[in-house]
Amino acid sequence: MATSLQAAAAEPAPPGRQRRPPGGETAAGRHGGASLIIAPQWIGDAVMTEPLIRRLAARGEKLTVGALPWVAPVYRAMPQVAEVIEFPFAHGGLQFRERRAIAKRIQGQFERAYVLPNSLKSALLPFLASIPERIGYFGEARVGLLTHRLKNPKNKPPMVAFYSALSGEGGLDADRPQLQMGEADIDKSLSELGVQRGGFYVFAPGAEYGPAKRWPAQHFSELAAQLDKPVMLLGSGKEAALCDEIAAPVNAAKAGQCINFAGRTSLLQALCLIAASKATISNDSGLMHVAAAFGVPQVAIFGSSSPLHTPPLSGKAAVLWLKNDLTYQPPLDCAPCFERECPLGHTRCLNDISAQRVLDGLQQVAPST
């Protein structure tokens, strides 16, 4: 997969302009200088861009990341990032006036921009700011907005390699995201939330994409009841009811075993909780990638999606995916379907992963659970 990404050539330049390799002459030759990164809008994608950030910083580029507020804390956990600009953009809509205002403010500050999302609107700001080199993938008729364009791979590639390819460098297969959180930040967040380092597990039972990526609440409850330490449930406010459903039967039998923090923490606090946990159990979600990047022991549960596309890249991760289980019958010929809801109505890929199976996975990565 990395070979096809490395070989993706930039579109020929218009007449009169010298053709340059993907990433531009600066990215492939001179290096250094100031670069703007236009970040993805999802937490998991933001984590998976870290190896690209590390590559660019290693060759002397001073990096500023432009990110939406709900992913900005991820980039503050990357020491290679010199500055994070929080964009005041909402989901949907072009918001041209706001983009133009920021473009005017940053004009002349950057030599190049790396546009990580494939949308037209994400490429607008670097264009309006007249940043000389604007690097990204083809997408949404933005040919005139980018100066260096890579072809999108036909199949679903590993996403870390997909982002790292924008560097124009090779050797992408070994890239692994790494996040670093200051000890003072962790201690402060734990104190604010009233929990002890290493004295709890984290459950991240949500998945923004849809129910075909969510392990059943009942299974999470069964697992929580068997653990030797309390469980911190993390998620957005939209997942508070789901977390209540998980916590209620467990706490009825053992008061205080589950604490529902969904919608009650900042992203920084959530990152600190994961970094300080004994282990994290999650679906294929953004917080799964956070745990992997912190090197926290984890069990990652896959249903409609594929760990070949978005795996938790960590030696401390146990991945559960029935598609790969040769003993599971009948085989899951339908997986991965990448659908929000099960097209066949049974969601066997998740329903048939038992709490005991996840507990066994935990024993592999975090013994004595």
Domain contains 177: no
Amino acid 369: pLDDT = 55
Same domain, 252 and 332: yes
Retrieve residue 303's tokens.
Answer: 């249903």
Cα 233 from Cα 246, distance rounded (Å): 9
Q: What strands, in cross-sheet order, belong to the sheet with 201-204?
A: 258-260, 231-233, 201-204, 279-283, 298-301, 317-320
CATH number for the domain harbouring residue 66: 3.40.50.2000
Task: Give the SS3 label for residue 136.
Answer: strand
If residue 63 lies in a helix (H) or strand (E), which one and from where to where? strand 61-67
Q: Note down pLDDT in tens along the chain; length 369 residues.
A: 333 333 333 333 333 333 344 444 444 445 789 999 999 999 999 999 999 999 999 999 999 999 999 999 999 999 999 999 999 998 777 899 999 999 999 999 999 999 999 999 999 999 999 999 999 999 877 888 999 999 988 887 899 999 999 999 999 999 999 999 999 999 999 999 999 998 999 999 998 777 899 999 999 999 999 999 999 999 999 999 999 999 999 999 999 999 999 999 999 999 999 999 999 999 999 999 999 999 999 999 999 999 999 999 999 999 999 999 999 999 999 999 999 999 999 999 999 999 999 999 999 999 875
Task: Give the SS3 label for residue 329.
Answer: coil
Asked if residues 189 and 268 have their Cβ atoms less than 8 Å apart, the reply is yes
Same domain, 73 and 188: no
Number of H helices, E strands in the chain: 15, 12
Amino acid 287: pLDDT = 97
- List the domain range (segments joined by +) for residue 41: 2-167
Cα 213 from Cα 307, distance rounded (Å): 12
State the chain's maximal CA–CA distance in angstroms.
74
Domain contains 174: no
Amino acid 208: pLDDT = 78
Same domain, 16 and 163: yes
Residues with Cβ within 8 Å of residue 27, at least 6 apart in sequence: 56, 112, 133, 135, 148, 167, 168
Would you say the pTM of this structure is higher than 0.85? yes
Amino acid 48: pLDDT = 98
Amino acid 68: pLDDT = 95
Given the structure tokens 């070979």, which residue do they identify?
Answer: 3
Same domain, 121 and 215: no
Same domain, 153 and 197: no
Same domain, 292 and 156: no
Same domain, 271 and 335: yes
Same domain, 146 and 189: no
Q: What is the DSSP letter of 354?
A: -
Domain contains 175: no
Amino acid 3: pLDDT = 32
Domain contains 77: yes
Residue 63 phi, psi dihedral angles, 5° rounding: -105, 130
Retrieve residue 108's tokens.
Answer: 């002349």
